Structure 1
Amino acid sequence: MVGFTRLTALGARRWEPGAIKYATDGLCTSIFLNSVNIVKYLIMANILASCKQTRFHLLDENPSAEIDVEGLGIVVTSAASEDDAKSKAKGKSKAKTAGRELISDGHLRLKGGIHYGLLGRNGTGKSTLLRAMAEKLIPGISHATRVAILQQTDEDGPGGNASLRLEKSVLESVLSSDEARNEVRRTADFLSKSFETENPLEPVMAIRKIRCQHAEKMLFLAHKNANLKSGARGLQARKDLKVAEAKLESTREMVAQEPDSIDAGAIQTDTQEAVETLQTLQSQLEEMNHADMKKEARRILLGLGFKEDAFNKKVSTLSGGWRMRCMLASTLVQKPDIMILDEPTNFLDLLGVVWLENYLKQQREDSETTIVLVSHDRDFINAVCEEIVILRDQKLNYFRGNLAAYEQDFEEQKLYLGRMKEAQERQTAHMEASIQQNLKIGKKTNDDNKLRQAKSRQKRVDDRMGLQVSANGGRFKLNRDLVGYHFTCRAEIEVPTDERGATMSLPDATELRFPGPLVSLEAVTFQYKKNDRAVLDDINLVVHIGDRVGIMGLNGSGKTTLIRVLNGQIPPSKGKVSTHSRLKVGYYGQHSVEELQERGRMEPGLTALGLLLAESDGTLNEGEVRGLLSSMGLQGRIASDVPVGKLSGGQLVRLALARIVWSAPQLLILDEITTHLDFHTVTALATALSSFNGAIILVSHDRFLVRSVIEGKRDTDHKLDEDFEGLEQEQEETNSRRRSVYVLKAGQLNEQTKGVQQFEQSLVKRVQKMLAI
C-alpha cells in the first residue's frame, strides 16, 4: 500500500468470487480468502507479501510503535506470474505463486526506538524486504505509521531519485521531503484559496471534496480490514465496511449536487466545518514548526558535507553522489516512526560516515524513531545498531547486540553445538552397537530381558537424542518442551555454518626480471588549469613489490586525481613519474561497475565468460577463464549463462576484479572497491588481498578494509578467515612488507604514524564540534 495521496484517483471497482480487486494509479491489490488462515497478497512492482491471520488494528490513527508480523512471506514475481497467481486461487486452496521466494514463514518483529542492523548476503532479499516495509505492502504496518526510506537504487517511489525535487534548491528539496506535512499544507492551501473567492459556495464544495477523498481512503482500509479478520472481529469489520461504502456514496452525491439545489442550512453547516478544518490544519502546521525543521535540515546538510553556498544550488545540477547525500538528508530530517537506510554510507567520505554514525547514536537518546539499516561498513554497524536481524535461509533471526557480539556468539554456538553433536554421535554409535549385540544374544538364547533392553534403548535413540537445551536455553524436559501429539522426538542438533559466501583468491603477480621500484613520484604537482590551486602539491611516493599503501581523505581532496597520475592516465604539471619497464597494473576505478552495466545494456547477450575470453584475446582458454572466474566467486552458469546486465552489484565487482587480474599484474590500484559489496564479501576480499604477493594501493573510506589489508591487523571485533595473512605471518619472514597509510589534504600527502586510528580520531573531534552547534 502506498501513500494515500495516490489513492484519490480510485477507479472503477468490480467484485469477484473469493477476491476483492482495486485498480488505482499503478497499484493492484488482491485479497484471497482461506478457511484456515486469511492471507493477504499485495502486488506492487512485482513484490508479493503475505502473512497469517492477525489482529492488526489497521484503522487505528495512533498505532503501536512496534511491528509484530508472523508467517511473513515475500515473493518477487513477474507480470506474467501475477496473472498465474490469480488464476490458481480456486475454492479453499491457497494460491501458489510463481516467482522467487525470498522469505518463507518469517517473523518480522521491530520494537519502537530500537536501531536494527539487517544482515544477509547479496541477493537474499534485504532491499526487497525494506521496500515492502516502506510501501506498506506488509500487513501489520498501519496506514498511520510514518515510514521514510533511503534506497540504493534510483527507482521511482520512496527513496528513489524521482522523489527528489530536481527543480528546487538543495535546502528546499530537503524541506519538502516530509509527505505528512506536505499533505497537511496542500489541504490547508486548497481550503484557504476557496475562502479567497467571492463565491460563497467555494468553501462548501472544497470541504465536500475533502470529505469525499477521506471517505475513499477509509473505504480502502475498511476493505483491507474486513478481509484480514474473521470471527466476531470479522463480523464487525464487515459492518464497518458497509458503513464506509454508504459514507462514500453519500459524500459523492454531495459533491455532485448542483449549487442551486444546496439549501442555506447546509451552506452554513459546511462553511463552518471548512473554517474549523482550516484552523485545525493551520494549528498542525504550527506544531510541526517549519523553523525548527529548517534549522535541523541545515545542520544535517552541513554534517553530510554540503557547504553553505551549495544550499541554493538546484538539485538537478548535482552529481549522483551529492544527490544521494541530498536524499539521505531528506530521510533524516523527517523524524518518522520507522526510518529505513539501505547502504547510507556508500557515497560518504569518512568524515560523513563518522558524522552520520554519531548523529544516529545521538538519536537513540533524543528520538523514538525505529531505524533499520543495511551497511557493508562493520564499524558503522557496530557503533549504531543495538540489535541484529539476520536474513538467512528465507528466515529472519534476531540477536540482541551489535555485529561484533553476534559474530562472537555465533562462533561460541558453533563450537558448543559442534561438540554436543560429536559427543551425541559417539553415544548413539555405542548404543546402536549395544542394541545389535542384545538383539543377537536375545534371539539366540530366547532371553526376553535382552530383547526388552534392546527395544528400550532403541526407543531412546529414536526419541531422546537431539538438542539437549530448550528454546529458552534451559535443560530440555520432555513433558515441558515437547508438547503436542505430532511431536515424537527432539529437534536434531544443527551446527550453524559460516555464511561468508564464495571465497576469493587472486593469481600471483608476474615475476620481474630485475629489481627496482614499481612506480615512483618525485615532486609531483598537478593543476587542472595554470592559475588554479594545485590539487597535488610536491608529492613524493615510492612503491616496491609487496608494499601496501592506503590513501584516505575527504571527498574532493584529490585522491582520484592522484590515482590517475599514478596510473599514467594524466601527466603531472610538474615533477616526474617513473615506472618499472615490465610493470603490469590492475586498476579498479570508482565507475568500473557502472561501465560493466553500460556494456551489458549495449550487448544484452554478453556473459562474464564471453567478456574475459574476448579481452584476453586468446591468452587464456575457456578452462582457464572459468577457473579464474570461479576463484573470484562466479562459478558455473553464473559465468557462462547469466548476461552481464543481469548480474548483481557484488557479482559485477567480482567480474571487474577478474578483468584486472587475469594478466597477473604486479601492482593493484583499487579505488573505492567496497561500494557494492556486503560485509561477508568485504571479508573475503580482505583475505584475498592480504595474501597477494604484489603491491597494493588502496583508496577507501572503509576503516576495516584499510586496517586489515594495509595495516595487516586482525581486528578483535571482526573475525577474519584463517587464510588471512597479516602482521603475525610477516614476523616469521625475514623481509616484512612496507605498510603505510596516507591522508591527502590540501594537496599534501601526510603519513599517519598510527594508521587509520589517527585519521579517525581527528575526524571525531570535528564531528563533535559540528553536532554541538
Structure 2
Amino acid sequence: MVSRLDQPEDEISADALQTETQEAANMLADLQIQIEPSRLAQIEVEARKILTGLGFTEAYLEKPLSSLSGGWHMRTALASALLQEADILILDEPTNFLDLLGIVWLQRYLQSLADKEKPPTLILVSHDRDFISLCTDLLILKDKQLTYFHGDIQTYERSQSERRQWLTKMKEAQDKQKAHMEKTIAQNLKAGKANDDQNKIRQAKSRQKKLDDRWGMQVSAKGTRFKLNRDLVGFFLTSREGIDIPPEQRPVIISLPEPPELRFPGSLISLEKASYRYAPRSPLILQDITLTVGMGDRIGILGLNGAGKSTLIKLLVEESAPSSGTVTAHPRLRLGYYSQHAVEELKSIGRTEQGITSLALLTKEVDGALNEGEIRGLLGTLGLPGRLASDVPISKLSGGQLVRCQLARLFWKHPQCLILDEVTTHLDYETVTALREALNEWEGAVVLVSHDRWFMRGAIEGQIEDQGDDEDEDDEEEEETMRRRIVYRIKGGGITELKNGVEDFERVMEKRVKKLLDAL
C-alpha cells in the first residue's frame, strides 16, 4: 500500500484503488470503535448541559424531537451548533424563541468561549442590543454596504455623529480656503495676461493644479497624514479623496394614534383574584391574580417560558375565561392585541386568500372607516409604502413586514390600550427603536410581554436616551407624575411586582446562569 504512493495515478487499476479504499475505511472504523465509547459519553454530558441552559427540562430531553414545537426545534439546532468544535461559529438571531434565562445563559456561554485554548471566531446576527453587547467588533450592513467598526453599538452611533460633525467642519473650512484660492488664481491669471507676466500665469496654473488634483481629505481614516499609495487604493483621477459627508440618516418614526377619550373614568381592564386551569382536575396555571390597567399605565410582564405570561394575556383580552375570579373591562374600551402568533396567523390568511395584499386586507377590515389614501398613509408610516402594500401578496412578505402589517391592523382602530406579546420578534433594530420610543410617549395604556431587556426598559420603565432639550424634559417629568410604570414577574402561578424592574429579574437570572455554567 505504501509502495504505491509514488506510482502515477494512471497506473493504479480501479480494482486496486477500490481495495485500498476499503482497507482505509475498515481501519478508520476500527479506530472509531476504540475511541467512540468515551468520546460519545463526554459529548452526551456536554449536550445535556447545553440543552439545559437553553431551557430543556429532563422531561423535554427525553421526548422525541418530532413531538416538539418549532421553538424547541430551533433550540435543538442552536445546541447542535454550540456543540461543534468549530473555528468559526455563525449564529443568526439565536435569541428568538429563548426566554430571558436562555438569553442570559447563551450570552455568558458565548463570552466564556474566549477562555478556550483555541476560541472560535463568533459571527453573530442579532437585533437584541443587550445581547449583541458581547461582541467586540461590528459589521453594519446598510444600503448594500458593509461598515467595519471596533467597539459596541452605542460607541458606533456616537462616533458616526461625531465624524459627521468633524467632516462638516473640515469641508466648510476647505470651501472657504478654496474660494479664496479660486479668487487669487483668477486675479493672477487676469494680471498675468494683461501684463504678459509669465511668472504669475505659472503660479496661477500651479495653484489650479493643486486645486484640481490634491484637494480633499488631508487626514487618513486612522488620523495620520494622507498618503496616496496607502490610503487611496486603485486608479483615480485625483491624488485626494473628496470629503464625502454621509447624509443624515432619516430615523424610522412610528406615530401611534391618539386614543379616544373615555366618557366616564375607570380602569380599562381589571383582574380580581383570577385563577386559571386548563381542565377541572389539572393544576392551576395562574392563581389569585389581581391586576389593574389604567389609562396611561405602562405594565411589563416577565417570566420564564411556561410561567403563564401568555395565559395571563389571554385573560386580559378575554380570549380565555378565568376558572375563578373576575375580569372586567371598561364598557368603552378599544383594545389592540398583538399575539405572539400574529405572524403565523397572517401567513395562514395569505395561504387561504391567495394574492391578498396588506392594502386589500386592511381595506376589507376597515369597512369604509378609512379611505384608500388614509390606509396607504398608515401602512407607509409603518414601513409598507406604495407598491409593497398594494402589489405584494401577504404570503410574500418577510416576518418583519408581517409584524408591521399586524400593527397597522391594530392602530387603525385607535385603541386606548395596547397589549403586546413578543412584538419585537422579526423586527429590525431601527423599527424596534422607533416602536420603543413611540410606546414610551403614547398617551394610552401599554401591557408588554417581551424578553428584549432594552425594549422593556425603554417602553415600560421609560429609560430613553437623548430625551431632548430641558423644556421637553420638564414636560415629560410632569407627565411621569401621572403615569404608572410597573414590571411584574410571574412565577409559580403568582404575580409579584419587581421594585427595580428589569434589573431585578436580570439579577435573578444571572444567579441561575452562574450555577448552570459552573456545571459545564
Deviation at 1:361, TM superposition (A): 0.9
Q: CA 1:485–1:298 in 2, change beyond 3 Å: closer, same or farther?
A: closer
CA distance in 2, matches of 1:439, 1:695: 72
Name the structure 2 match of 1:759. Answer: 505
More helix, by proportion:
2
Aligned residue in 1 for 2:516: 770
Partner of 1:616: 366
The equivalent of 1:653 in structure 2 is 403
Alpha-carbon distance in structure 2 between the residues aligned to 1:271 and 1:579: 75
Aligned with 1:426: secondary structure? helix
| 1:520 pairs with 2:270 | yes
Distance (whole Å) between structure 2 residues aligned to residue 691 and residue 639 of structure 1: 27
CA distance change for structure 1 residues 558 and 271 in 2, over 3 Å: closer, same or farther?
A: closer
1:372-521 paired onto structure 2 within 5 Å: 372-383=123-134, 385-436=135-186, 438-439=188-189, 451-477=201-227, 481=231, 486-497=236-247, 502-521=252-271
Query: How far did residue 537 of structure 1 move?
Result: 1.4
Indicate if the aligned counterparts of 1:713 and 1:727 stay in contact, CA closer than 8 A.
no
CA distance in 2, matches of 1:317, 1:270: 40
Residue identity matched to 2:397: L
Cα offset for 1:647? 1.3
The CA RMSD measured in Å over matched residues stands at 3.1
**How far did 1:401 drift?**
2.5
Distance 1:732 1:434 in 2: 59
Kindly indicate whether the alpha-carbon contact (under 8 Å) linking 1:684 and 1:721 is maintained by their aligned counterparts in 2: no
Taking the aligned partners of 1:454 and 1:659, their CA distance within structure 2 comes to 67
Deviations 1:333-352 (A, max 9, x none): 12222221111100000011
> Residue 566 of structure 1 is aligned with which of 289, 312, 316?
316
Indicate yes or no: 2:379 matched with 1:633. Answer: no
Q: Is the 8 A contact 1:548 1:695 kept in 2?
A: yes
Following TM superposition, by how much is the alpha carbon of 1:616 offset from its aligned partner in structure 2, in angstroms? 0.5
Q: Which secondary structure does the structure 2 equivalent of 1:459 belong to?
A: helix
Deviation per residue, 1:113-152 (Å, 9 max, x gap)? xxxxxxxxxxxxxxxxxxxxxxxxxxxxxxxxxxxxxxxx
CA offsets 1:610-636 (integer angstroms, 9 cap, x no match): 111111011110100011111112112
Q: What is the 5 A alignment of 1:722-761?
A: 729-733=475-479, 735-761=481-507
Residue 694 to residue 426, structure 1, CA distance change in 2 (3 Å): farther
Contact 2:232 2:241 in 1 (8 A): no
Residues 428 and 352 (structure 1), Cα distance of their counterparts in 2 relative to 1, 3 Å cut:
same
CA distance in 2, matches of 1:591, 1:613: 22
Match of 1:672 among 418, 422, 436: 422
Query: Any conservation in 2 of the 1:546–1:696 contact (CA below 8 Å)?
Result: yes
Q: 1: CA distance between counterparts of 2:235 and 2:72?
A: 60
Query: Are the counterparts in 2 of residues 713 and 726 from structure 1 also a CA contact under 8 Å?
Result: no
How far apart are residue 437 of structure 1 and its match?
A: 5.1
- Name the counterpart of 1:697: 447
What SS does the corresponding residue of 1:423 show, helix, strand or coil?
helix
Residue 459 (structure 2) pairs with residue 709 (structure 1): yes
**Post-superposition shift, 1:318?**
0.7
Matched residue type, 1:369: P
Moved more, 744-753 or 686-695: 686-695
Structure 2 unmatched runs, 5+: none
Q: 2: distance between equivalents of 1:714 and 1:499?
A: 19
Post-superposition shift, 1:580?
1.5
Deviations 1:160-197 (A, max 9, x none): xxxxxxxxxxxxxxxxxxxxxxxxxxxxxxxxxxxxxx
The answer to whether the Cα contact below 8 Å between 1:712 and 1:727 also exists between their aligned partners in 2 is no
Conserved? CA contact 2:252–2:430, under 8 Å? no
Whole-Å separation in 2 of the counterparts to 1:685 and 1:543: 20
Report if aligned partners of 2:214, 2:238 keep a CA contact under 8 Å in 1: no
1:332-371 alignment runs, 5 A limit? 332-366=82-116, 367-371=118-122
1:277-333 CA-to-partner distances (Å, cap 9, x unmatched) read 4444445546x8111111101101111111112221101111111111111111111
Q: Does 1:316 align with 2:66?
A: yes
Identity of aligned residues (%): 52
- 1:545-560 equivalences under 5 Å are 545-560=295-310
Structure 2 vs 1, CA of residues 254 and 529 (structure 1 numbering), >3 Å: closer, same or farther?
A: same
**CA-to-partner distance for each residue in 1:210-233, whole Å, 9 max, x for gaps?**
xxxxxxxxxxxxxxxxxxxxxxxx
Residues 468, 322 of structure 1: alpha-carbon distance in 2 compared, 3 angstrom cutoff: same
**How big is the shift at 1:427?**
3.1
* Residues 742 and 749, structure 1, Cα contact 8 Å, conserved in 2: yes
Structure 1 residues 437 and 515: CA distance shift in structure 2, 3 A: farther
C-alpha distance in structure 2 between counterparts of 1:283 and 1:721, whole Å: 65
The 10-residue stretch of structure 1 (466-475 or 271-280) with the greater mean CA deviation from structure 2? 271-280
**How far apart, CA to CA, are the structure 1 residues paired with 2:313 and 2:460?**
17
In 2, Cα distance between equivalents of 1:484 and 1:734:
57
Rate the CA distance shift 1:585–1:429 in 2: closer, same or farther, 3 A: farther
SS at match of 1:503: coil
Report the CA distance shift for 1:676/1:487 in structure 2 as closer, same or farther (over 3 A).
same
- Aligned partners of 1:588 and 1:669 also within 8 Å: yes
The answer to whether residue 247 in structure 2 is matched with residue 529 in structure 1 is no
* In 2: Cα distance, 1:318 partner to 1:480 partner: 56
Q: Could you tell me how far apart the structure 2 residues matched to 1:734 and 1:293 are? A: 53
User: How far is 1:507 from its partner?
Assistant: 1.8
SS at match of 1:406: helix
Paired with 1:275 and 1:622, the residues of 2 have a C-alpha distance of 72
Q: Structure 1, unaligned stretches of length 5 or more?
A: 1-203, 205-239, 256-265
Question: Deviation digits for residues 405-445 of structure 1, max 9, x if unmatched?
Answer: 33333333223223222333333344444445555566666
Q: In the alignment, what sits opposite 1:298?
A: 48
The AA in structure 2 aligned to 1:524 is: A
Structure 2 letter corresponding to 1:746: G
Query: Is the 1:551–1:700 contact (alpha carbons within 8 Å) kept by the matching residues of 2?
Result: yes
The one-character-per-residue Cα deviations of 1:259-283 (angstroms, maximum 9, x if unpaired) are xxxxxxx8xx888766644444445
SS of the residue 1:289 aligns to: helix
Q: Distance in 1 between matches of 2:143 and 2:22?
A: 59
Provide closer, same or farther for how the CA distance between residues 361 and 431 of structure 1 changes in structure 2, counting only shifts above 3 A: same
- Shift in Å, 1:449: 5.6
Q: CA deviation at 1:504?
A: 2.2
Q: Distance in 1 between matches of 2:147 and 2:128?
A: 20
State whether residues 422 and 451 of structure 2, in contact with CA within 8 Å, keep that contact through their aligned partners in structure 1.
Answer: yes
For 1:643 and 1:270, how far apart are their aligned partners in 2?
54
Partners in 2 of 1:437 and 1:581 — Cα distance?
Answer: 82
CA distance in 2, matches of 1:346, 1:485: 46
Cα distance between partner residues in 1 of 2:321 and 2:234: 77
Q: What's the offset of the Cα at 1:754?
A: 0.6
Aligned residues of 2:293 and 2:445 also touching (Cα < 8 A): yes
Q: Distance in 2 between the 1:497 and 1:334 partners? A: 43
Q: TM-score, normalised on structure 2?
A: 0.90
Aligned residues: 515
Whether the aligned pair in 1 keeps the contact of 2:213 and 2:237 (CA below 8 Å) is no
TM-score after normalising by structure 1? 0.62
- Structure 2: how far apart are the matches of 1:323 and 1:648? 21
- Aligned counterparts of 1:514 and 1:417: Cα–Cα separation in 2: 56
Q: Distance in 1 between matches of 2:254 and 2:279?
A: 42
1:604 aligns with 2:354: yes
